[in-house]
């Protein structure tokens, strides 16, 4: 059904007025920037930098989640609605693991670095396993079914994961221990927290390592080949099922790491956190260019910044309207996203 | 009599005819049965059934978009919201507190049509720039739109009272109405009848009539020139265009007609509940309606209706009732300790069952898709296709 | 040959570029009315691209496509169908999950007048039109000889029947010009003979046929005039007997010019 759309020759899909619509898009962006600038000038510089740092930290976390959406979409053209919940699961798993490794609030120090990293590694592993299992159970049997079927199971899996966390720890939001140092220091007008720096660094390192992995490793090459043309990749001796499983595993591991980072940064998680966070991260993936890995990271960063600035300089109740407005505008004016690479058609 | 027998024989093997018959008999008998079974206190069930009718209308409308034209809409609740809010603003005292300072009280029957046209207009407005996008991208756009609309209504506090929503909506009125034993009263004609909330039977009758009209209209569309164009676009857009089908207009019509159903379902819903609030139109509502269509059998009208009825009764009758039933069961089995919450995290069986609802909803979606990806009552063509295999010469289409 | 008549279709300097690749390069020729006109050439010569330029699926980079006296270059595909150009596809593109009859009825779509109002309320007008259209569609199926399969799913028809159904669907749009993209591909010799007979029948209805075909026997036998494309350029034009002897055509087919 939707396959019929994909069969259209590409010239039918790229509409004639792309120059015009690019121009309109540019004008909108320029207008938004001007408006922001005007608001920024009304507040102090230190406030600006504070918001900037919050935006960057949020944005790198969105980027971590967006990578999973973009990879899965790139390889099997499915919006994995359960992905946002795998991110929440990262928070829940790590919360359960902390007592086992003797981690508790109020005793922050260098002694926690190793256990925290171990918890992160185990959490990422568990999230990966859950996501691979989801793909096995709910998506793989439907790979040749009508396009809507896996979408419905994805929504079903999302509901199951949310339900499982709800059942496990109840409906209320859980306090996530403050494990990072709360020290802040000034660099010129910029007041920055050690926590901000750790969160940003951790997320950035993961994004960079992961991007290098996709570009350089054999598995990464197999993923890109499968995304380009599944049949051809199979003919070249690539094990499609393993590659898809690996994609789900890595995406979920990154989302799990995102869950921990979120917990450490925001200090709370709840069973339904992944729903709206997932939608926003998905917007980031589309914004950057769905299927495009650096695009997801960039999109995440920009969406994080937009969110932070809209919350503080405008009206937070309109932030999500703005973000989803960006989602629609991106697809209308520039369906290939900011980085403009074309998703291969299958 | 003979003609009737021939008709019955011809249709006794037609699953759609059976489905329509069962639904029609069920719809007629339901008020009587629930009143009888509950000793005359079945009003809440009739009311629940009338609310279920709203979902049937929504499923019929979304089926036009997704099932007929093959356009994936993940934000259908947005049009539902637009219909409800249109009615809420045009048929209540709400606009007194708005910047125009005048209450507008348009009669229900006209407001119903206005809600329909406003939603259809919104569908066309959203569709015009986006319908040329490929399928998945369209789905994402509708998802975004579905997220924006309820937030927009929530934020426009001056017009919509924000999170509190619009309350005390006008009720529909009719010059006369017939009541009788089915509404637990004597047979009589009431003059200047008002649809009040303590008379759910009237609402129920109204929604059934709306559904019947909708089914006839959509069935006509399905077998018309436009219906064929929708399916042609769904099957192969390029070939449809080469055959002279204006694909953009065709898709736009599907979008607008689908939205119009949602619009008038929304107006009905607002009038019956007498409250329109931004929380009633979240993503989960869009997903629920989509699941109804897909579970029932995409592209098949009675399929979508049955999907709506089944999922609605699970979500709004069985699941909400389950905690109380489990509590009663535990009590009867002498296991009252199950009903107590305990400090080690056990929340009591009622709460436990309540918390299970998300998992149950998810399992229903995943289970049915895995076991029956074509839906419970697929369009006959597809059912036959799946049964007989791909290249079977004898496969005969009988629609 | 009726050269005194105005051609039904006239290509004038048509160019189509995709990025750096020139798929069709400065092609000009006239398709006379009421004849069978053939376009041949090696794989990748730009034949289907040229068809797409005529039917509006591609917008030519330059040049004019004059159909019945008006330039239709860049017209939307559904408009060219309304104007009277119908086509079939090289890789059959039927509406698979619709019955054969409904496939043909989609072809009638452009000639139908029922409005949304008629469709929703099934007005007497809509009913009468629907009945007439069903009858006409059956006639088209009979014309191509697959009326027995009217109620079958398009995808359940045999390969040859699918090709015929595509022709019936195209005829249902009541075209003046019918473009057939490799109608004999994958046919047995027997089926090819039947196809040639069908083309004759179409011509006798006053419809001009313009076809792309690889099978030289079919082309030579059925067509009155041939244009040869190679690497997007026209290398020869004329009656079959002439084209067959043309040295450049022979080279193109034997691969010398590559």
Find chain C residues with C-beta within 8 A of B235's C-beta: 94-98
What is the pLDDT, as a whole number, of residue B383? Answer: 45
Per-residue pLDDT tens over the stretch B252-287: 999 999 999 999 899 999 999 999 999 999 988 999
C96 is a domain residue: no
Find chain B residues with C-beta within 8 A of C158's C-beta: 391, 393
Find chain C residues with C-beta within 8 A of A9's C-beta: 52, 57-58
Say if B75 is an interface residue toward chain A (CB within 8 Å): no
A343 is a domain residue: no
Interface with chain C: mutation pick from A9, A10, A11, highest number of C CBs within 10 Å: A11
Cα distance between residue A335 and residue B5, in whole Å = 58
What is the pLDDT, as a whole number, of residue A103? Answer: 84
Say whether pLDDT at B242 is over 50.
Answer: yes
Phi and psi at A206, nearest 5°, equal -60, -45
For residue C14, what are the domain limits? 1-73+178-183+209-258
Cα distance between residue A240 and residue A217, in whole Å = 16
β-bridge partners, C99: C153
Summarize the confidence of residues B235-255 as an average pLDDT. 93
Say if C77 is an interface residue toward chain B (CB within 8 Å): yes
- Sequence ranges of the domains in chain B: 18-388
Summarize the confidence of residues B369-374 as an average pLDDT. 85
What is the pLDDT, as a whole number, of residue A8? Answer: 35
Pairing of strands C62-67, C70-71: antiparallel
Helix ranges (DSSP H) in A135-239: 148-169, 194-216, 218-228, 230-235
Instruction: Quote ipTM for the complex.
Output: 0.92
A61 near A304, Cβ under 8 Å?
A: yes
C22 is a domain residue: yes
Find chain C residues with C-beta within 8 A of B255's C-beta: none
A316 is a domain residue: yes
Of A156, A161, A167, the CB nearest to B355: A167
Cα distance between residue B345 and residue B229, in whole Å = 58
CA B115 to chain CA mean position, Å:
16
What's the mean pLDDT when you consider all of chain B? 86
Say if C135 is an interface residue toward chain B (CB within 8 Å): no
How far is C24 from chain A, CA to nearest CA, in Å? 16
A202 near A211, Cβ under 8 Å?
A: no
For residue A72, what are the domain limits? 19-333
Spatial CB neighbours of C110, under 8 Å, sequence gap ≥ 6: B243, B244, B245, C78, C81, C82, C173, C174
CA A330 to chain CA mean position, Å:
17
Summarize the confidence of residues C160-178 as an average pLDDT. 95
Nearest CA among B245, B227, B224 for reference residue B236: B245
CB contact under 8 A, B385 and C130: no
Axis crossing angle, helix B283-296 with helix B43-62, rounded to the nearest 10? 80
What is the pLDDT, as a whole number, of residue B98? Answer: 82
What is the pLDDT, as a whole number, of residue A179? Answer: 85
Torsion angle, CA of A144/A146/A151/A156, rounded to 10 degrees? -90
Say whether pLDDT at B235 is over 50.
Answer: yes
Per-residue pLDDT tens over the stretch B35-52: 888 877 788 899 999 999
Pairing of strands C85-87, C177-181: parallel
Looking at the structure of chain C, the number of domains it has is 1
Can you list the residues of chain A whose pLDDT is less than 50?
1-17, 342-346
Per-residue pLDDT tens over the stretch A10-20: 333 333 345 56
Spatial CB neighbours of A41, under 8 Å, sequence gap ≥ 6: none
Q: Which H/E stretch holds residue B177? A: strand B173-179
Cα distance between residue B30 and residue B190, in whole Å = 22
Q: Please give the sequence-ordered ranges of beta strands (E in DSSP) within chain C, or none if there are none.
A: 9-18, 21-31, 36-40, 62-67, 70-71, 85-87, 177-181, 208-212, 225-230, 233-238
Tokens read off for B71: 């356009």
Q: Is residue B380 very low, low, confident or very high in pLDDT (cuts 50, 70, 90)?
A: low
Find chain A residues with C-beta within 8 A of C59's C-beta: 11, 16
CB contact under 8 A, A12 and C52: no
CATH number for the domain spanning C65: value is 3.40.50.300
Share of chain C above pLDDT 70, in %: 97
CB contact under 8 A, C152 and B241: no
What is the pLDDT, as a whole number, of residue C88? Answer: 95
Higher pLDDT, B232 or B159: B232
Cα distance between residue C85 and residue C210, in whole Å = 10
Higher pLDDT, B288 or B387: B288
Spatial CB neighbours of A35, under 8 Å, sequence gap ≥ 6: none
B303 near B378, Cβ under 8 Å?
A: yes
Per-residue pLDDT tens over the stretch C218-251: 888 899 999 999 999 999 999 998 988 888 888 8
Say if B70 is an interface residue toward chain A (CB within 8 Å): yes
CB contact under 8 A, B242 and C81: yes
Find chain C residues with C-beta within 8 A of A16's C-beta: 59
Spatial CB neighbours of A222, under 8 Å, sequence gap ≥ 6: A233, A238, A239, A243, A246
Residue of A nearest to C97 (CA): A1
What is the pLDDT, as a whole number, of residue B399? Answer: 37
Q: If 0-12 CB within 10 Å is exposed, 13-18 middle and 19+ buried, where does residue B110 land?
A: exposed
Share of chain B above pLDDT 90, in %: 47
Per-residue pLDDT tens over the stretch B320-370: 888 888 888 888 888 877 777 777 777 888 888 888 889 998 998 899 889
Find chain A residues with C-beta within 8 A of B155's C-beta: 315, 317-318, 321
How far is A321 from chain B, CA to nearest CA, in Å? 5
CA B183 to chain CA mean position, Å:
24
Interface with chain A: mutation pick from B153, B373, B385, highest number of A CBs within 10 Å: B373
Cα distance between residue A52 and residue A308, in whole Å = 7
Which residue reads 């890595």 in tokens? Answer: A250
Per-residue pLDDT tens over the stretch C108-156: 998 888 888 888 888 999 999 999 999 999 999 999 999 999 988 899 9
What is the pLDDT, as a whole number, of residue B182? Answer: 66
Torsion angle, CA of A228/A231/A236/A238, rounded to 10 degrees? 80
Per-residue pLDDT tens over the stretch C8-52: 999 999 999 988 889 999 999 999 999 999 999 888 888 999 999
Q: Is residue B385 very low, low, confident or very high in pLDDT (cuts 50, 70, 90)?
A: very low
Task: Give the class (CATH, top level) of B18-388.
Answer: mainly alpha
- B touches which chains (3+ CB pairs under 8 A)? A, C
Say whether pLDDT at C162 is over 90.
Answer: yes
Distances (CA, A) of A318 to A28, A307, A321, B45, C28: 17, 10, 5, 39, 58
CATH number for the domain spanning A191: value is 1.10.3470
CB contact under 8 A, B144 and A147: no
What is the pLDDT, as a whole number, of residue C239? Answer: 93
What is chain B's alpha carbon radius of gyration, rounded to the nearest angstrom?
A: 23
Per-residue pLDDT tens over the stretch A238-269: 889 999 999 999 999 999 999 999 999 999 99
Per-residue pLDDT tens over the stretch B186-217: 788 888 888 887 788 889 999 999 999 999 99
Cα distance between residue C50 and residue C46, in whole Å = 6
Cα distance between residue B294 and residue B72, in whole Å = 11
């Amino acid at each position: 059904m939707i396959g019929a759309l994909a069969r259209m020759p590409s010239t039918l899909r790229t509409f004639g007025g792309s120059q015009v619509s690019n121009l309109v898009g540019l004008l909108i962006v320029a207008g938004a920037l001007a408006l922001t600038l005007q608001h920024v000038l009304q507040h102090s510089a230190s406030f600006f930098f504070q918001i900037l740092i919050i935006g960057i930290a949020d944005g790198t976390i969105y980027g971590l989640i967006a990578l999973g959406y973009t990879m899965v979409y790139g390889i099997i053209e499915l919006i994995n609605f359960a992905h946002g919940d795998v991110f929440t699961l990262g928070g829940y798993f790590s919360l359960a693991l902390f007592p086992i490794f003797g981690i508790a609030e109020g005793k922050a120090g260098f002694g926690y670095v190793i256990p925290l990293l171990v918890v992160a590694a185990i959490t990422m592993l568990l999230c990966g396993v859950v996501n691979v299992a989801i793909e096995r159970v709910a998506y793989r049997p439907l790979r040749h079914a009508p396009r809507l079927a896996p979408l419905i199971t994805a929504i079903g899996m999302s509901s199951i994961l949310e339900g499982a966390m709800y059942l496990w720890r109840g409906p209320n939001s859980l306090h996530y221990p403050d494990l990072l140092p709360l020290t802040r220091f000034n660099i010129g007008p910029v007041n920055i927290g050690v926590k901000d720096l750790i969160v940003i660094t951790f997320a950035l390192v993961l994004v960079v390592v992961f991007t290098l992995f996709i570009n350089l490793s054999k598995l990464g090459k197999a993923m890109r080949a499968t995304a380009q043309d599944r049949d051809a990749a199979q003919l070249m001796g690539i094990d499609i099922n393993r590659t898809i499983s690996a994609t789900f595993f890595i995406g979920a591991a990154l989302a799990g790491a995102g869950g921990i980072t979120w917990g450490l940064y925001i200090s709370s998680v709840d069973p339904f956190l992944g729903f709206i966070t997932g939608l926003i991260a998905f917007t980031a993936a589309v914004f950057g260019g769905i299927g495009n890995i650096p695009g997801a990271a960039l999109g995440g960063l920009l969406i994080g910044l937009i969110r932070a600035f809209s919350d503080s300089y405008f009206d937070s109740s309109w932030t999500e309207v703005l973000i989803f407005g960006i989602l629609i505008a991106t697809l209308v004016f520039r369906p290939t996203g900011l980085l403009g690479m074309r998703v291969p058609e299958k | 009599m003979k003609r009737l027998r021939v008709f019955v024989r011809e249709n006794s093997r037609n699953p759609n005819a059976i489905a329509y018959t069962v639904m029609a008999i069920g719809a007629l008998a339901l008020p009587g049965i629930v009143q009888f079974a509950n000793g005359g206190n079945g009003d809440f069930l009739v009311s629940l059934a009338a609310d279920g009718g709203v979902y049937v209308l929504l499923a019929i409308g979304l089926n036009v978009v997704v099932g007929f034209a093959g356009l994936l809409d993940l934000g259908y609740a947005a049009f539902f919201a637009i219909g409800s809010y249109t009615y809420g603003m045009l048929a209540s005292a709400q606009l007194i507190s708005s910047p125009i300072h005048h209450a507008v009280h348009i009669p229900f029957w006209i407001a119903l049509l206005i809600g329909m046209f406003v939603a259809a207009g919104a569908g066309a407005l959203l569709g015009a720039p986006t319908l040329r996008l490929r399928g998945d991208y369209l789905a994402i756009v509708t998802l975004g739109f579905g997220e924006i609309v309820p937030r927009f209504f929530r934020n426009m506090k001056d017009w919509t009272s924000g999170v509190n929503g619009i309350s005390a909506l006008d009720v529909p009125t009719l010059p006369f109405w017939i009541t009788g034993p089915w509404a637990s009263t004597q047979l009589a004609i009431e003059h200047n009848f008002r649809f009040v909330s303590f008379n759910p039977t009237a609402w129920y009758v109204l929604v059934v009539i709306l559904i019947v009209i909708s089914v006839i209209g959509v069935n006509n569309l399905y077998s018309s020139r436009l219906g064929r164009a929708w399916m042609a676009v769904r099957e192969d857009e390029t070939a449809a265009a080469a055959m002279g089908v204006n694909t953009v207009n065709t898709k736009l019509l599907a979008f607008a007609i689908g939205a119009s159903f949602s619009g008038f379902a929304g107006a009905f819903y607002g009038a019956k509940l007498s409250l329109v609030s931004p929380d009633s139109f979240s993503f989960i509502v869009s997903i629920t309606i989509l699941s109804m269509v897909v579970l029932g059998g995409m592209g098949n009208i009675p399929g979508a209706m049955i999907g709506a009825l089944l999922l609605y009764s699970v979500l709004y009758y069985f699941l909400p009732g389950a905690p109380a039933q489990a509590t009663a069961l535990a009590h009867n089995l002498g296991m009252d300790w199950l009903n107590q919450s305990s400090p080690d995290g056990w929340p009591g069986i009622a709460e436990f069952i309540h918390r299970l609802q998300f998992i149950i909803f998810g399992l229903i979606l995943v289970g049915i898709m895995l076991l029956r990806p074509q839906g419970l009552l697929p369009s006959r063509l597809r059912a036959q296709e799946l049964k007989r295999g791909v290249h079977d010469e004898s496969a005969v289409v009988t629609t | 040959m009726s050269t005194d008549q105005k051609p039904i279709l006239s290509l004038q300097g048509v160019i189509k570029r995709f990025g750096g690749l020139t798929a069709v390069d400065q092609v000009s020729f006239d398709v006379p009315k009421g004849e069978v006109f053939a376009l041949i050439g090696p794989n990748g010569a730009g034949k289907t691209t040229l068809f797409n330029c005529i039917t509006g699926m591609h917008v030519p980079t330059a040049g004019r496509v004059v159909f019945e006296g008006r330039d239709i270059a860049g017209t939307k595909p559904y408009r060219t169908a309304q104007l009277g150009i119908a086509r079939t596809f090289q890789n059959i593109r039927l509406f698979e999950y619709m019955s054969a009859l409904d496939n043909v009825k989609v072809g009638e779509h452009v000639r139908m007048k029922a409005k949304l109002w008629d469709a929703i309320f099934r007005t007497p007008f809509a009913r009468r039109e629907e009945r007439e259209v069903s009858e006409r569609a059956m006639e088209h199926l009979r014309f191509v000889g697959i009326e027995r399969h009217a109620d079958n799913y398009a995808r359940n028809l045999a390969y040859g029947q699918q090709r015929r159904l595509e022709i019936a669907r195209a005829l249902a749009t009541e075209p003046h010009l019918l473009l057939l993209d490799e109608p004999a591909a994958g046919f047995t010799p027997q089926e090819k003979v039947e196809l040639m007979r069908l083309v004759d029948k179409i011509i006798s209805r006053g419809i001009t046929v313009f076809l792309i075909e690889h099978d030289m026997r079919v082309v030579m036998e059925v067509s009155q005039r041939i244009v040869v494309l190679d690497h997007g350029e026209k290398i020869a034009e004329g009656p079959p007997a002439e084209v067959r002897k043309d040295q450049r055509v022979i080279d193109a087919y034997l691969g010398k010019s590559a």
